[in-house]
């Protein structure tokens, strides 16, 4: 009896001692609350997926295996350190490096994240780079983009129009992005100071949980400001200083259980940074965008005049070839208009500032999945968003294109340019790289049968040689 009482008393006292010896971090760290949000989690996922497709159409992603694996590995380590209450099973965090010189990084709703090469080159150690990544992950985990849209009552004003809605004629995803997104900042919500503070705090907590020192996040903001010089830091322009940021992060670090030997310089970081610096100089994001848009940032079809009298497709064909990877036949009387990721073929009178009303389009779509069905639907969703008058009128059906499995579907709607019902037939097939090749045939529903004949000839003539892509 006495022994039993002594045992209980001893255990109670031991618990008191244990609580006293616990790091104050578990008790004193700043509490972050999930902001009010009237959007579904799936809204974040869809918006991020569509925006990521546009980002990767416009900006060059570094495909080097060592660099890609490194940034993904670091990112996954940080995602695993997100506190349980802020984890969303539906989110698909993935990390890629953009070959751009700007000291910048941005994450999209639902998980896609892009770190500029310039950011990695500017970071003095892995901890500084991770600080920016953790800050961005915190924005995603707290669903700040849709939360801010909830506060301001405008989804599209906050996230930017992903693909341009012109309401005239079919615009490819790339062309829509070029015309509608005037500057890389369109993909980045300029968060409120409140949300910036939350991202600093949660980002610091994620860093500590992952084995890093949050003080490197504070240091990185100074590195960004110092390295950017007179042109102003790109990252800080979209992530406004909530006031005393450096001091606040350092104060939060004192409340956290930070490793006595935090991760700083690593062999992988130094090797990847050295590899990036050995590459040819990267362009700025603005230069990349202007190059993709063509001379003066103009739509290549700009200046064309729409006509009611359009010449029928020629029955004689010329060969279109791009490098060694694609060949196809095109009606002799159709012009071609090329952008960074797609080519449009159209006769005189069928193209202009608002896209194409008669013709065909081919392109490569860099989706977020390696699944043909998912990428095909994502491509169609992007086209529907870029062309608000269209609706998907048929489900995807199995087909063949260029000797490989393909899907086909139709979009239709009343074109504000022609005033006629327009039909867009889209064929998609997977490339060996996992990217999507698509062929879109565009014409009014009541167009002469010669158009269908031309489209069939073009489709049947496509030859793809993508083994080295």
Q: Which of 233, 254, 289 is the last residue of a domain?
A: 289
Once rounded to an integer, what is the mean pLDDT over residues 73-100? 96
Instruction: Say how far apart CA 415 and CA 390 lie, in whole Å.
Output: 8
pTM: 0.57
Is the predicted pLDDT of residue 378 greater than 60, yes or no?
yes
The percent of residues in the chain predicted with pLDDT above 70, rounded, is 79
Q: Which of 349, 344, 347, 318 is nearest to 334 (CA)?
A: 347
User: In the prediction, which pLDDT does 452 show?
Assistant: 96
CB 379 within 8 A of CB 363: no
Same domain, 86 and 198: yes
Same domain, 317 and 439: yes
Same domain, 70 and 218: yes
pLDDT band for position 360 (cuts 50, 70, 90): very high
Q: What is the DSSP letter of 229?
A: G
User: In the prediction, which pLDDT does 160 show?
Assistant: 36
228 within domain boundaries? yes
Which residues fall within 8 angstroms of residue 125, CB to CB, at 6 or more apart?
Answer: 216, 264, 265, 269
Residues 387-420 have pLDDT tens digits of 878 999 999 999 999 999 999 999 999 998 899 9
User: In the prediction, which pLDDT does 239 show?
Assistant: 61
Instruction: Say how far apart CA 112 and CA 451 lie, in whole Å.
Output: 40
Instruction: Say how far apart CA 242 and CA 135 lie, in whole Å.
Output: 14
Instruction: Say how far apart CA 362 and CA 427 lie, in whole Å.
Output: 9
Residues 294-313 have pLDDT tens digits of 544 456 787 788 998 999 99
pLDDT band for position 166 (cuts 50, 70, 90): very low
CB half-sphere exposure, 209, CA atoms < 13 A = 18
Looking up tokens 């006031």, which residue turns up? Answer: 243
CB 309 within 8 A of CB 349: yes
Instruction: Say how far apart CA 267 and CA 273 lie, in whole Å.
Output: 10
User: In the prediction, which pLDDT does 152 show?
Assistant: 60
User: Could you tell me the CA-to-CA distances from 166 to 130, 183, 332, 443 in Å, in that order?
Assistant: 40, 18, 29, 18
User: In the prediction, which pLDDT does 421 show?
Assistant: 95
Instruction: Say how far apart CA 168 and CA 416 lie, in whole Å.
Output: 5
Once rounded to an integer, what is the mean pLDDT over residues 432-460? 93
CB 465 within 8 A of CB 322: no
Give strand pairing partners of 18: none
pLDDT band for position 229 (cuts 50, 70, 90): low
Give strand pairing partners of 351: 356
List, edge to edge, every strand of the sheet that includes 112-116: 94-98, 112-116, 105-107
CB half-sphere exposure, 48, CA atoms < 13 A = 30
| Average pLDDT value for the chain | 81
Determine which of 3-12, 58-67, 443-452 has the lowest per-residue pLDDT on average: 3-12
Same domain, 276 and 349: no
Q: 92: helix, coil or strand?
A: coil
User: In the prediction, which pLDDT does 60 show?
Assistant: 85
Q: Sign (positive/negative) of CA torsion 64, 67, 70, 75?
A: negative
123 within domain boundaries? yes
Once rounded to an integer, what is the mean pLDDT over residues 166-188? 33
CB 225 within 8 A of CB 236: yes
CB 132 within 8 A of CB 217: yes
User: In the prediction, which pLDDT does 347 show?
Assistant: 95
User: In the prediction, which pLDDT does 425 show?
Assistant: 97
Is the predicted pLDDT of residue 187 greater than 60, yes or no?
no
H helix or E strand, kind and range, residue 408: strand 404-414
Determine which of 153-162, 214-223, 231-240 has the lowest per-residue pLDDT on average: 153-162
Same domain, 88 and 40: yes
Which residues fall within 8 angstroms of residue 462, CB to CB, at 6 or more apart?
Answer: 326, 327, 328, 362, 401, 402, 439
User: In the prediction, which pLDDT does 11 show?
Assistant: 40
Q: Which of 289, 322, 341 is the last residue of a domain?
A: 289
Same domain, 316 and 460: yes
Once rounded to an integer, what is the mean pLDDT over residues 183-199? 65
User: In the prediction, which pLDDT does 295 show?
Assistant: 42
17 within domain boundaries? no
Q: 414: helix, coil or strand?
A: strand
295 within domain boundaries? no
pLDDT band for position 155 (cuts 50, 70, 90): very low
Same domain, 231 and 372: no
pLDDT band for position 241 (cuts 50, 70, 90): low
Instruction: Say how far apart CA 464 and CA 325 lie, in whole Å.
Output: 5
C-alpha dihedral, 369 to 373 to 375 to 379, nearest 10° = -170
Same domain, 75 and 116: yes
pLDDT band for position 23 (cuts 50, 70, 90): very low
Same domain, 142 and 254: yes
Number of folded domains that form the chain: 2
Determine which of 46-60, 112-126, 303-317 has the lowest per-residue pLDDT on average: 46-60
User: Could you tell me the CA-to-CA distances from 368 to 10, 55, 92, 112, 373 in Å, in that order?
Assistant: 57, 11, 9, 9, 12
Same domain, 339 and 372: yes
Same domain, 284 and 348: no
Residues 124-152 have pLDDT tens digits of 999 999 999 999 999 999 998 888 777 76
Identify the residue with better confidence: 220 or 469.
Answer: 220
347 within domain boundaries? yes
CB 103 within 8 A of CB 227: yes
User: In the prediction, which pLDDT does 291 show?
Assistant: 65
H helix or E strand, kind and range, residue 28: helix 25-28
Identify the residue with better confidence: 23 or 365.
Answer: 365
- Give the CATH number for residue 319: 3.40.1000.10
pLDDT band for position 383 (cuts 50, 70, 90): confident
Residues 254-289 have pLDDT tens digits of 999 999 999 999 999 999 999 999 888 888 887 777
Q: What is the DSSP letter of 114?
A: E
Quick one: tokens of 287? 């230069």
User: In the prediction, which pLDDT does 20 show?
Assistant: 39
CB 345 within 8 A of CB 361: yes
168 dihedral zone (left: phi>0; alpha: psi -120 to 50; beta): alpha
Q: 253: helix, coil or strand?
A: helix
Q: What are phi and psi of 100, to 5 degrees?
A: -135, 145
pLDDT band for position 159 (cuts 50, 70, 90): very low
Same domain, 458 and 387: yes
Boundaries of domain holding 307: 301-464
Q: Sign (positive/negative) of CA torsion 305, 311, 313, 319?
A: negative
């Amino acid at each position: 009896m006495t022994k039993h009482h002594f045992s209980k008393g001893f255990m109670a006292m031991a618990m008191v001692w244990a609580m006293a010896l616990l790091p104050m971090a578990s008790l004193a760290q700043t509490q972050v609350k999930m902001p009010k949000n009237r959007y579904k989690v799936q809204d974040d996922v869809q918006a991020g997926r569509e925006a990521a497709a546009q980002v990767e159409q416009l900006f060059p992603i570094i495909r080097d295996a060592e660099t890609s694996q490194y940034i993904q590995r670091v990112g996954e380590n940080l995602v695993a350190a997100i506190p349980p209450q802020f984890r969303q099973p539906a989110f698909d965090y993935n990390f890629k490096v953009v070959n751009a010189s700007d000291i910048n990084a941005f994450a999209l709703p639902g998980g896609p994240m892009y770190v500029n090469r310039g950011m990695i080159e500017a970071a003095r150690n892995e901890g500084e780079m991770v600080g920016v990544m953790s800050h961005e992950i915190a924005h995603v985990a707290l669903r700040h983009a849709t939360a801010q849209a909830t506060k301001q009552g405008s989804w599209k004003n906050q996230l930017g129009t992903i693909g341009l809605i012109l309401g005239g004629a079919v615009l490819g995803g790339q062309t829509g992005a070029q015309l509608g997104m005037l500057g890389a900042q369109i993909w980045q919500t300029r968060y409120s100071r409140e949300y910036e503070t939350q991202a600093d705090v949660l980002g610091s907590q994620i860093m500590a949980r992952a084995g890093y020192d949050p003080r490197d996040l504070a240091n990185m903001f100074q590195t960004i400001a110092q390295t950017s010089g007179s042109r102003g830091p790109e990252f800080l322009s979209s992530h406004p200083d909530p006031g005393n940021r450096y001091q606040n992060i350092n104060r939060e670090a004192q409340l956290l259980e930070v490793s006595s030997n935090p991760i700083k310089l690593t062999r992988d970081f130094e090797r990847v940074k050295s590899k990036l610096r050995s590459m040819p100089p990267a362009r700025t994001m603005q230069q990349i965008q202007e190059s993709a848009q063509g001379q003066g940032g103009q739509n290549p079809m700009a200046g064309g005049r729409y006509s009611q009298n359009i010449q029928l497709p020629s029955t004689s064909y010329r060969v279109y070839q791009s490098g060694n990877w694609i060949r196809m036949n095109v009606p002799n009387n159709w012009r071609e208009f090329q952008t960074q990721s797609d080519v449009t073929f159209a006769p005189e009178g069928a193209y202009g500032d608002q896209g194409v009303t008669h013709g065909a389009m081919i392109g490569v779509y860099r989706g977020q999945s390696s699944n043909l069905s998912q990428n095909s639907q994502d491509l169609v969703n992007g086209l529907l968003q870029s062309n608000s008058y269209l609706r998907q009128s048929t489900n995807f059906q199995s087909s063949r294109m260029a000797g490989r499995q393909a899907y086909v579907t139709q979009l239709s709607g009343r074109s504000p340019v022609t005033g006629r019902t327009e039909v867009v037939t889209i064929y998609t097939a997977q490339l060996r790289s996992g990217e999507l090749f698509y062929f879109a045939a565009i014409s009014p529903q009541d167009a002469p049968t010669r158009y269908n004949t031309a489209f069939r000839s073009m489709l049947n003539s496509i030859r793809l040689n993508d083994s080295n892509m």
